Amino acid sequence: MLGRLRSVDLLLKIKILYYTLRHLKFEQLLFRFYRHFTRTRFRDFYGFERRALPGNFIEPIGRPKTISGRTISFLNETAYLSQSIWDETDRSELWIYNLHYFDDLNNADTRMRFETHSQLVNDWLQNYQFHPNRLGWHPYPVSKRIVNWIKWDLQFSALSQEALDSLASQANFLSHQLEKDLMANHLFVNGKALIFAGLYLEGLAAESWLKIGISIVKEQLDEQVLRDGGQFERSPMYHAECVEDILDLINILRCYKRSLLTHDLETRVLEMLKWSQVMSHPDDRISFFNDVAFDVAASSEGVFAYARRLGFDPPREWNGPHYLEESGYCRLENERSVLICDVAPVGPSYQAGHAHADTLSFELSVDEFRVFVNSGVSEYGVTPERLRQRGTAAHNTVEVNNTNSSEVWSGFRLARRAFPFDISVQIDNPLHQTVTASHDGYKRLKGKPVHTRKWTLTEEVLLIEDNIDGNFSSALSHLHLHPDVTAELSNNCVKIFIPNGQILELTVSGGLARLEQSTWHPEFGKVIPSQKITINMHTATLVTTLQFNRLHS
């Protein structure tokens, strides 16, 4: 019996691996094989000089302050600044990555802390020698570090000769360690770093890095920025990171009077800013679809201000409903509420590491307060909690047979995935807006169930109609409340209290509602208690009605 169970478990693992690998590009598999069996190239450079600067480098986005006195803090976790900070012990991989980004060099008050930053760079140069297995020498943190050092130096001429030579060595190393196995945002950031290093440093080697960087960014720009302005991984957080990357590239290309690529970048900025606005709540902060947390990417305010410093003139807001058709998101809006619906594919098929099993989920704000929220992300890595946060039950959608709509596994893997179809969007009438879509994520189950959801938004009501076509043993609709919102359940009716004193009333037909304790994860390293409404579907059709017009007496 035990042997049979082990055989079933092995077959299941093989199936999951097959459905993961079948979506990868051949180039990804080939490059992973190549990197595994080839020796890492590293070469020390000496005597590099800065290239003459014909233009002005515009002040970039100010990053959050992470150093205070003798402590440094990332992801809501603080450490003491000392030589041992570089030892890579007792910290998560993401925390160590952030340490090696050097974002603090470009924070809002960096002019006042020149000595602190100089000491940090010098400590790194003295105490962090190259080794291919050290996390700070992975291509992604190398890319981030190159850009941050150069931004800092363009403003303050701060780097020593030793640091310039190190920059050259890092850029050369990066040019041989491009993340073509991961691709997506990692490869774009690699290309950005090589453009920065190739423009900033003088010499033939620098010109070769520039050429590689230009080639990467030009190719990836066409693939990664969709026609509606969205970044193709469909995470508002990584989209905001991509907007900043593009603005940085425009900034430095103009600074060095290079026209190649500049026009391609400039033509995308306004659409990308519009996408950011459409995917934000009335509090001007991003919505939570796929991997998202606050305070990783720059704020909308910071991005828009940077765009204006570079001469772009986006309107302060794009009002009203929008359908981001290629990305797969809909924003429904009236005077009281904003509803953002997910009818999107999980992301680029060959890189869905930041995707969640959240198809047909949504978020809702009423009277500028968030009411229904997806769970967010408090950690990366390979843990049960990371898997739970990526799972269907952590999002405002329907879970069938206690199964995720897309097969998330490990920390950043995805096997079989849900695909939305039969999408219908009617948003021309602001008094009656509807979105309908189905997905096939559960068709792999016995009974081949298909989930269809219709949202109808009016001035007084949000109506959600869920239908499961096919046989199923259980179906749960999950509705996660923001921590500032409280709820009371009575006779299958839920009263929802929002901070301005108003009461929303949620009623159910075709299911039984219950209130449960849950958590919300607005930042890495942060877990906030909250409530959720779970509705057990009794029939194949569930109608959930949220009334807006009740006032708190």
pLDDT at 2 over 70: no
Residue 293, pLDDT > 70, answer yes
Residue 163: band (very low, low, confident or very high) from pLDDT cuts 50, 70, 90: very high
Q: 257 by DSSP, 3-state: which?
A: coil
Distance between CA 390 and CA 387 in Å, rounded? Answer: 5
Q: How far apart are the first and last CA of the chain?
A: 63
Q: What was the pLDDT predicted at 550?
A: 52
Contact 462, 450 (CB under 8 A): no
Residue that wins the pLDDT comparison between 408 and 45: 408
- Local confidence band at 1 (pLDDT 50, 70, 90 cut-offs): very low
pLDDT single digits (tens) 415-443: 999 999 999 999 999 899 999 999 999 99
The residue among 220 and 10 whose pLDDT is bigger is 220
Q: In the predicted model, is pLDDT for residue 464 greater than 70?
A: yes
Give the pLDDT score at 486. 96
Residue 478 CB: number of other CB atoms within 10 A?
Answer: 23
Q: pLDDT digits over 90-119, tens only? A: 889 999 999 999 999 998 777 788 888 999
Residues 6+ apart with CB under 8 A from 80: 70, 71
**Residue type at 35 in one-letter notation:** R
Residue type at 84? Answer: S
Task: Tell me the per-residue pLDDT of 527-550, one tens digit each, with 9 for 90 and over.
Answer: 999 999 999 999 999 999 999 975
**Angular region, 445: left φ>0, alpha ψ -120 to 50, beta rest:** beta
Give the pLDDT of residue 108: 78
- Share the mean pLDDT of the chain: 93
CB 372 within 8 A of CB 363: yes
- Please state whether 190 falls in left (phi above 0), alpha (psi between -120 and 50) or beta: alpha
Q: What is the mean pLDDT of residues 177-189?
A: 94
Is residue 265 over pLDDT 80?
A: yes
Q: What is the pLDDT of residue 285?
A: 96
Confidence at residue 25, expressed as pLDDT on a 0 to 100 scale:
87
Per-position b or e across 243-281, b if 16+ CB within 10 A of its CB: bbbbbbbbbbbbbbebeebeeebbebbebbbbbbbbbbb
pLDDT at 7 over 80: no
Predicted pLDDT of residue 190: 98
Assess whether pLDDT exceeds 90 at residue 140. yes
